[in-house]
Amino acid sequence: MTRAFDAIIIGAGQAGPSLAGRLTAAGQQVAIIERHLFGGTCVNTGCKPTKTLVASAYAAHLARRSADYGVMIDAPIRIDMAKVRARADKVIMDSRSGVEGWLRNMKNCTVFDGHARFESANTVRVGDDLLTAPKIFINVGGRPVIPDFPGVNDVPYLTNSGMLKLDRVPKHLVVVGGSYIGLEFAQMFCRFGAEVTVVEKGPRLVSREDTDISELIREILEAEGIHIRTSAECITFKPHPDGVAVGVDCTEGTPEVIGSDVLLAVGRRPNTDDLGLDKAGVTVDARGYIEVDDSLATRVPGVYAMGDCNGRGAFTHTAYNDFEIIAANLLDGAGRKVSDRIPGYALFIDPPLGRVGMTVTQAKATGRKLLIGERPMKNVGRAVEKGETLGKMRVIVDAETKKILGAAILGTSGDEAIHGILDIMNAGADYTELQWAVPVHPTVSELIPTLLGDMKPA
């Protein structure tokens, strides 16, 4: 059966449903196809459940520190992992059902359950249904990379989705991958009571950050008892009576770590390999990401790619911004571009890292004259009052244009405070505009104007 629509959306992640809402409100007939779980990565295996677990882990950590605040707990705290998981599951189900219900009840929107495959540039098959439309939007997300390490297929392992199904605390969790996803799980399960070892192939954690920020993150995690093994040039796996033996060819330490459980967190890949993109003429790069221009259009007229599958961002907020760019250009006559987007993100360990724009390393590489302001969190009143003084704040400014180039806030509320800097950057204002601000006291954000007043040449 062939059915014609004004637009077809493949995938119901962060961008797809919102685009369906805009298009249908404009009177267009829209088909949206989802083959697995409504809501995509964020709702099902990413932001929603992991930040719920982070909150439970923070509660456990705070309970253990309660005496520091004069709150006495006279018995050791206990983790009920089944309840922890049930809480995360509820958050998932509430969000997933909300997205699905919205789409199924949306006027002018037809939901198709199944695997979409292109048959031509404007034709997509879903089971027995053949759908056609002059515009097709791909929003298929990504999945964990399974590294080609020796022995990886000979042992049981977990990915981020498998971790969310655990209703027990591993005896010894070995996290392979020292970046954002791996570190969040490492800290939360350490706080749940597991012994945790992080194995990273590179010389330091979260290598895209400046070296000093990476080292501070390592210090924070090691202070909680997490073992960090970097420079693991040759990582191998083999079965062991107590679980899995992970070989780590590091410059120091034992050559093997025995874990009861292993989490693979070495990156993600796009879900583009089984869509029949070649039949539509849609091209991908060497890593499988759909190639798009600055408006998120592919080389095929009328076909666009949004979210993780286009390689232009790996976050929920960048996927949503992809929708905003496409909708504004197609429906509002705007000329928005991906290259105008200022990169911002967070690492949700505790304390969190809020990041925007360039690192110091990146800024210096441009050859610009720089001003840099820094302050340790131990000198931030709000951090002292909360008893959470680990980390530092940093802002980087172009000395000649007075524009903020980037910032890092590793510390309590850093994931929220970073928005004050992100907003001024998006507004295109000089950093001096922030110096006139009268911030709320006591907050972490109130230190940003002071930070900008204390800058020194880099």
Residues labelled catalytic? 441
Cα distance between residue 365 and residue 367, in whole Å: 5
Q: Could you tell me which residues are beta bridge partners of residue 246?
A: 237, 257
Residues sharing a CB contact under 8 Å with residue 367, sequence separation 6 or more, in sequence order? none
**211 φ, ψ (degrees, to nearest 5):** -55, -40
Dihedrals φ, ψ of 142, to 5°? -145, 180
Nearest by Cα to 40 from 120, 95, 86: 95
Nearest to 396 by CA among 418, 416, 415: 418
Q: 446, 352, 370, 444: which is closest to 406 by C-alpha?
A: 370
DSSP characters for 296-356?
SB-SSTTEEE-GGGGTS--SHHHHHHHHHHHHHHHHS-----GGGPPPEEEE-SSS-EEEE
CB of 263 within 8 A of CB of 174?
yes
* CB 334 within 8 Å of CB 326: no
Q: 83: which 2 tokens? A: 């309840």
Tell me, what amino acid is at 417?
Answer: A
User: How many residues does this entry show for the chain?
Assistant: 458
Residue spans of beta strands (DSSP E) within 108-260: 109-113, 116-120, 123-126, 129-132, 135-138, 142-144, 172-176, 195-199, 227-229, 235-240, 243-248, 256-259
Distance of alpha carbon 137 from alpha carbon 30, whole angstroms: 11
CB 363 within 8 A of CB 370: yes
